[in-house]
A = this chain, B = another copy of it.
Amino acid sequence: MSASLDEVLQAIRTGIPLFLERFQECLRIPSISTAPENQPDMLRMSQWLQAEMRRIGLEHVQAYPTPGQPMVYGDWIHAPGRPTVLVYGHYDVQPADPLDEWVSPPFGAEIRDDYIFARGASDMKGQILAQLAAVEAWLAQGTCPVNLKYLIEGEEEIGSPYLDDFIRDHTDLLECDIVLNCDAMIHSAENPSITYALRGLAYFELEICTAEKDMHSGMFGGAVRNPIHVLTEVLSGMHDASGRITLPGFYDHVPTAEDDERALLAKAPYNDAAFLKTAGAFALYGEEGFTTLERLGVRPSLDVNGIWGGFQGEGAKTVLPARAGAKLSMRLIPGQPLDMVEKQLRAYLEAKVPAGCQWNLTCHSIGPGSVMHWKSPYMQAAADALKKVFGKEPFLRREGASVPVVRLLQERLGVDSVMLGFGQPDDGIHGPNEKQSLPVLYKGMESYACFLYNVGRLKPMSVHD
């Protein structure tokens, strides 16, 4: 049996009403992995997903148990001699709070104008369902241009605690030529993009303690150390006036971006006003000597993600606290050696925290960035697919965020990922009123179908072969 790409694209368009029904059904399951009260919903979601995968014709669909949420697997491997694509996604979502900032219920999946609003709409149920819709259209024609395997996890939003073990224990099951990672974004419908690099992440918690117990600021203020003062001094000293991170040796092993890559990044249709609007921020800020896209892509960053100490309630309390703390994280550049980062932070703290103050530093997690072969035929297959559907050559971008699974799959399976998803930067993922543009998602379905078609015309090969 054979099917033409045009027939498949037509089938996708015809199937949109049914797709929308299923998408809403899926979004109405509050699959919040972190919340104990949503555990039944997590189960319901994994079962819903398996049923959907079976319905469109995938085989060997099952939920592999882990100590946490199960991994949903399925495959279709009836394209001998063709490449095998491992599709990665996750079926869990972030908590929906702050609830009072949602215009429509977070699990109501309300459609307004061209958008569907729901927690998980963009990150990433929309992407999973769009990819399945593309495959459904292929299989409905009786075939698929490539072999497919699915790894849909249920704990991405809580840091994928069992994913590495699972991949390590199932390398045969997951063996493939390329990963299609749907947990991704494009820049916009007018300017599609493909991400080829991701920053790593190191996350720390710092506590400063200057006394056994809280004190009265009148009785002791001005004569003993205030841990909030020490903390603000230490944290504010982590950047110099030019926005550079001051930890000793921090930049020594950050790879320098070559001219051709800086030129590539400069091709992006970027402007300050649009970037600030997307961020919701009032002003740009960062390391001198680099553009905003370079600051996000080829330069590491250090942010305080949270800070606390003393009295935070209504009104006034004249407490001089005994302790204060902060969460801080660094975005690391692929190639930056992980084992030095904590040492550099500790060396800074040793030098900076005054005598007579206790401090404690905990590392919550540390993971490297990753960079893909952006000239590989799989990347080209994705670029061609976007060009065909969106009518414009996508630009290539490095992403500031971290997607640890990309690195895990590089390390365990030796394969690159193509990041192909159809969320947009202003979708408000993880925040209130998360949304997904429906017209863009429909183009996404077609793009996925084209991508599979393009890959099917390649000789099977890992990019590392």
- Chain A residues with CB under 8 Å of chain B are 159, 199, 201, 203, 209-226, 228-229, 231-233, 235-237, 239, 275-276, 279-287, 292, 295-296, 299-312, 315-322, 324, 326-327, 329, 331, 354-358, 364-365, 399-402, 425, 428-431
Contact = CB atoms under 8 A, between A and B. Distances in A.
Contacts of A159: 315-316
Contacts of A326: 228
5 contacts: A201-B218, A213-B431, A223-B285, A283-B354, A310-B327
A302 B355 CA distance: 21
A309 B431 CA distance: 16
Contacts of A276: 224
A306 B296 contact: no
Nearest to A200: B218
A319 B305 contact: yes
Of A211, A235, A304, chain B has the most CB atoms within 10 Å of the CB of A304
Nearest to A282: B356
Of A220, A295, A320, A324, chain B has the most CB atoms within 10 Å of the CB of A220
Given A213-B280, A356-B282, A316 B308 contact: no
A232 B229 contact: no
Given A304-B310, A308-B308, A232 B236 contact: yes
Identify the 7 closest CB pairs spanning chains A and B, nearest first.
Answer: A283-B356, A218-B401, A222-B301, A306-B310, A306-B311, A212-B280, A224-B281
B219 A425 contact: yes
A229 B223 contact: no
Nearest to A158: B315
A212 to B, nearest CB: 4
Given A280-B211, A281-B211, A296-B223, A307 B232 contact: yes
Contacts of A232: 231-233, 235-236, 304, 307
Contact of A295 (B222, B235, B429): B222
A75 to B, nearest CB: 31
A287 B224 CA distance: 10
Given A235-B229, A318-B329, A400 B211 contact: no
Of A212, A222, A286, chain B has the most CB atoms within 10 Å of the CB of A222
A213 B431 CA distance: 9
A442 B379 CA distance: 86
A310 to B, nearest CB: 4
Nearest to A215: B279
Contacts of A280: 211-213, 215, 322
A321 B431 CA distance: 11
Nearest to A220: B279
Contacts of A399: 218-219
Of A295, A310, A331, chain B has the most CB atoms within 10 Å of the CB of A310
Contacts of A355: 283
Of A217, A287, A356, A364, chain B has the most CB atoms within 10 Å of the CB of A217
Nearest to A308: B312
Given A304-B228, A318-B329, A320-B305, A218 B402 contact: yes
B307 A210 contact: no
